[in-house]
Amino acid sequence: MEQATRQRNPRGQGQVLRDQLVEATARLLATMDRPETLTLRQVAREVGVAPASIYSHFANLTALIEHVLKLRYDELGCLMNDAAAATTSPLAELIARCAAYVHWGVEHPGEYRTIIGGGMPEQLVPLNAHGAGEELLNTLVRVLAAASRQGDKPSTADEQWQAGLILWTGMHGLVSLYNSHGNLPWPALDDLITQLLSLHTGCTTTKIEDLMAG
């Protein structure tokens, strides 16, 4: 069956095509079994344009994927910032940020996999494409250090960074396992988040539950 020819965008609406390319790439990365095999030809076919049309907007596939990664990181970062905006203590901020992260990852498994577990080779997506993710981690490090009980508080910058990295690893493991094995009889996500934060802050689960409940 012959593919329908895509109608050319009117002059001055190149942004429309750019947006369509970004949306198509994001959709493919979130739904493909092997997103690391994505090609410009697949993106072009999804939108209905010739592959050469993409080069007017992105230099190559890496640039296009990097743009999508930044959008996804920005989406997650804004969600975490919004969740933390109304909090009045470091512990409440930490709870809000971590809960937003875990729930977004579970509710958007394809998008989460795109930025965290996409399996992209470095020659296609260099490590510096994840710079926005480093900002999220740095915020987590700062807030965790402020929220930890005095006796459990990391004392040096290196210890604080390591503590934040371990917490992030725990959240990532929770989201990844939940998404991969959702048929298991999991406890409620908020209960798991509470237990995780209690372990990492030294605060009681009761205190964390009360703050999470608002």
Q: Assess if residue 205 is contained within a domain.
A: yes
116 and 206 in one domain?
yes
pLDDT confidence tier of residue 4, bands split at 50, 70 and 90: very low
Report the CATH number that the domain containing residue 158 is assigned in CATH.
Answer: 1.10.357.10
How many domains, in total, are found in the chain? 2
205 and 115 in one domain?
yes
Residue closest to 175 by CA, chosen among 89, 95, 117: 117
21 and 90 in one domain?
no
79 and 53 in one domain?
no
Q: Assess if residue 159 is contained within a domain.
A: yes
73 and 49 in one domain?
no
Residue closest to 81 by CA, chosen among 145, 18, 139: 139
15 and 118 in one domain?
no
Tokens of 144: 């965790």
Record the pTM. Answer: 0.86
Which helix (H) or strand (E) element contains residue 24? helix 14-31
Q: Assess if residue 1 is contained within a domain.
A: no
Q: Please report the pLDDT score of residue 103 as a whole number.
A: 97
pLDDT tens-digit map of 99-111: 999 999 999 999 9
Q: Assess if residue 129 is contained within a domain.
A: yes
SS3 of the chain: helix, strand, coil, percent, to 5: 70, 0, 30
196 and 105 in one domain?
yes
- What is the C-alpha separation between 154 and 112, in angstroms, rounded? 29
Q: Please report the pLDDT score of residue 114 as a whole number.
A: 85
Q: Assess if residue 3 is contained within a domain.
A: no
- List the helix and strand counts (H, then E) for the chain: 9, 0
Q: Please report the pLDDT score of residue 6 as a whole number.
A: 46
pLDDT confidence tier of residue 120, bands split at 50, 70 and 90: low
Report the CATH number that the domain containing residue 53 is assigned in CATH.
Answer: 1.10.10.60
Q: What range does the domain containing 160 cover?
A: 69-213
pLDDT tens-digit map of 39-89: 999 999 999 999 999 999 999 998 999 899 889 999 999 999 999 999 999
DSSP H helical ranges for 38-150: 40-47, 61-84, 90-107, 109-115, 131-147
Q: Is the pLDDT of residue 174 over 80?
A: yes
Distance linking the first and last C-alpha atoms of the chain: 57
Q: Please report the pLDDT score of residue 3 as a whole number.
A: 44
